[in-house]
Amino acid sequence: MTANYKISYVVRGGDHPGAIVNTDQRPLVGDRVKLGEREFTVLEVIDLIPPRGDFHYLHVTIQLAKN
Amino acid sequence: MDLLSVLKNAELFEGVTPYELDALTKICQQRTYNAGDVITAQGETGDELFVICDGFVEVLHSDSPSDPSPRAVVNLGQGQIFGEMALVDRGPRSATVRAISKETIVQVIKRDDFEELCEENHHLGYIVMRNIAVDLSFKLRHQHLTGQ
């Protein structure tokens, strides 16, 4: 069965309001994620609440990626 | 991706049976928006719930009707729902939702169709209403984490 990750992205610094997105891959610290047209680096990943069914609920802190 | 696969991956339908999922596909209607299109407007009445299949939307909130610069509260991407508050409490839209991707694809469920389905199948109604509650709770937690 495929896991679904419902992620609350909180952006450190800048004016981005953050995002809530589902993915099928658990993000790891150091990963790069694209939210719309902008790319961010993952700084921290925390399980926000216990999983339910196929869904895992994560809080992920990110910051704008430096190219 | 076909509609059934899209709905299977939406948390709103986590826990419904394949038969119930099939019934839900019959009341869904697909719409596509371009970047900048307003999907719902704060203060207006609405009777539709939206499931994002592809793209991103931006949720904007104004403190008053005369507020010239609404504040971006959160962006929502694939698998997320919006419009659920008006579906549940029948109040005016609490925020403006605008597409920010070039092609934002959503599935739309009308309140009357949804309520009729819930009346016919209480298990389906319980599961989906519980999932809406979990989603609202998650959004509240996100809001607390962002310090808004």
Q: How far is CA B57 from CA A2, A50, A59, B71, B80, in A?
A: 25, 27, 20, 14, 10
Dist CA A25 CA B90 (whole Å): 36
With a cut of 50, which residues of chain B have pLDDT below it? Answer: none
Interface membership of B145 toward A (CB under 8 Å): yes
Among A24, A36, A49, select the one facing B100 at the smallest CB separation: A36
Q: Which amino acid is at B46?
A: G
ipTM reported for the complex, 2 dp = 0.88
Average pLDDT, chain B: 91
For the record, the structure tokens of B117 come out as 């389905």
Quick: pLDDT tens for A3-37: 899 999 999 988 889 999 999 999 999 999 998 78
Interface membership of B75 toward A (CB under 8 Å): yes
Interface membership of A4 toward B (CB under 8 Å): yes
Size of interface A-B (CB pairs under 8 A): 76
H/E element holding B129?
A: helix B122-146
CB contact under 8 A, B15 and A53: yes
Residue indicated by tokens 């719902």: B40
**Helix %, strand %, coil % for chain A, to 5?**
0, 65, 35
Tell me the nearest-neighbour CA distance from A67 into chain B, angstroms: 22
The DSSP line for B65-90 is TT-SSPEEEEEE-TT-EESHHHHHH-
